[in-house]
Chains A and B, each alone.
Chain A
């Protein structure tokens, strides 16, 4: 009741529905063709340390990814059943 007569409408929504409303509005938007790196939250905080932090874990993950791709291919070649 407090918002009667005001040009505003509040309602439960989702990002999908927001996107739909924005598309329906037919606005024009700028184009972006590069990335959003580096990220800085203020002038003295550039979040670039994590590009190299925990190098061993990073290495293990890449190695694990290699093994995973090999296993997936072998699984298909050998016609093994899926375990998911």
Chain B
């Protein structure tokens, strides 16, 4: 009852909501329940932030040398936190703890308090959570563990149990090693999501509904090295036509019936068609749609505004 009143007040006045601590839940308990008998479309907003690539780590963080690539992670985290705070239904995942930590140590009490609250409520979730999304071909397993330990320790020290990532998120590495799956299972992760697998393998898996599997990481360790592994449908990009970042130029959702640009029916139909098509390739009545790309959400409002409308 109190919650309902709070929500109502906030909807009217635009004041962001802070749930009472007694109803706070993170992790699996914070999930919107999937409905049996219908196709459940999980909309997952994310940003893929390379820890150094075309620019250095610091250039990416501060957004300098934008003539090379338009990317500034500090703005991403600033604007995502603002937008998440506006509406408790919104969700965001963050992956690279190297960037998150660079940002976190520069925040004041007000922002830290908000982030704490949203992590406790499962609105901001860490996936992967290592210092970076490491390569799986050229890396030594010892270094992989070290960089996981560093990222996870920072998250654990800062957020406790609600900061623990439950799934691995290797959406960009070029191929995947079995040892990595074994390490993840050993570190207590429940699942792993992949972006890039061989194009022929992917074709076969799509045709046979084998995009999701149980990956046994190690023959000697056996069942304790098993990890649920899912291959994402569209690497890690949004479906064609539904990229709402400032870096994209897809049509926004225009829901003013008096506008000649009104396009809700057409956009919704297209999205439903894409969803149904995609669901033919997966075994359960759930699909995961990644809504984000490289260094997206520098202006998170644009993404969330359109996703809100799409979900409505």
Q: Is the CB of B272 within 8 A of A8?
A: yes
In this complex, the member of A24, A34, A58 whose beta carbon has the largest number of chain B beta carbons within 10 angstroms is: A24
Q: Is the CB of A30 within 8 A of B310?
A: no
Query: Chain A residues with Cβ under 8 A from B31's Cβ?
Result: 13-14, 16-17, 20-21
Q: Does B70 contact A (CB under 8 A)?
A: no
- The smallest C-beta distance from B276 to any residue of chain A, in angstroms, reads 8
Residue of B nearest to A27 (CB): B283
Query: Chain B residues with Cβ under 8 A from A69's Cβ?
Result: 142
Partner of B174 from the list A12, A17, A27, A47 (CB cut-off 8 Å) is A47
Q: Does A35 contact B (CB under 8 A)?
A: yes
Q: Does B248 contact A (CB under 8 A)?
A: no
Residue of A nearest to B304 (CB): A12
Residue of B nearest to A12 (CB): B91
Q: Is the CB of B41 within 8 A of A8?
A: yes
Partner of B142 from the list A25, A37, A65 (CB cut-off 8 Å) is A65
Residue of B nearest to A51 (CB): B137
Q: Is the CB of A50 within 8 A of B213?
A: no
Q: Is the CB of B27 within 8 A of A36?
A: no
Q: Is the CB of A37 within 8 A of B268?
A: no
Q: Does B210 contact A (CB under 8 A)?
A: yes
Residue of B nearest to A38 (CB): B175
Query: What is the predominant secondary structure among interface residues of chain B facing chain A?
Result: mixed
Residue of B nearest to A34 (CB): B178
Query: Chain B residues with Cβ under 8 A from A65's Cβ?
Result: 140, 142-143, 146
| Interface magnitude class on chain A | 35 or more
Known: A15-B191, A37-B137, A40-B198. A21 touches B286 (CB 8 A): yes
Partner of B91 from the list A13, A24, A27 (CB cut-off 8 Å) is A13
Q: Does A33 contact B (CB under 8 A)?
A: yes
* Interface pick from B15-23, B57-65, B105-113, B214-222: B214-222
Bound-state Cα–Cα, A58 to B140, Å = 10
Residue of B nearest to A54 (CB): B138
Q: Is the CB of A13 within 8 A of B213?
A: no
Q: Does B44 contact A (CB under 8 A)?
A: yes
In this complex, the member of A1, A3, A18, A50 whose beta carbon has the largest number of chain B beta carbons within 10 angstroms is: A18
- The smallest C-beta distance from A51 to any residue of chain B, in angstroms, reads 6
Bound-state Cα–Cα, A51 to B283, Å = 34
Q: Is the CB of A29 within 8 A of B39?
A: no
Q: Is the CB of B175 within 8 A of A47?
A: yes
Query: Chain A residues with Cβ under 8 A from B91's Cβ?
Result: 12-14, 17
Q: Is the CB of A32 within 8 A of B214?
A: yes
Q: Is the CB of A11 within 8 A of B43?
A: yes
Q: Does B297 contact A (CB under 8 A)?
A: no
Known: A2-B264, A50-B174. A16 touches B196 (CB 8 A): no
- The smallest C-beta distance from A2 to any residue of chain B, in angstroms, reads 4
Bound-state Cα–Cα, A2 to B43, Å = 18
Identify 18 residue pairs between A and B in the complex whose beta-carbon atoms are under 8 Å apart, listed by A's number: A2-B264, A2-B265, A2-B268, A7-B39, A11-B41, A13-B288, A15-B127, A17-B31, A19-B191, A21-B34, A25-B34, A25-B286, A29-B213, A29-B228, A30-B210, A32-B216, A41-B199, A68-B146
Starting from the known contacts A9-B34, A22-B284, A39-B175, 9 additional A-B residue pairs (CB-CB under 8 Å) come to A14-B122, A22-B230, A32-B214, A35-B175, A35-B176, A43-B199, A47-B174, A47-B175, A68-B146
Which 9 A-B pairs have CB atoms at the shortest separation, nearest pair first?
A13-B42, A39-B175, A17-B31, A25-B284, A36-B176, A21-B34, A47-B174, A12-B91, A19-B191
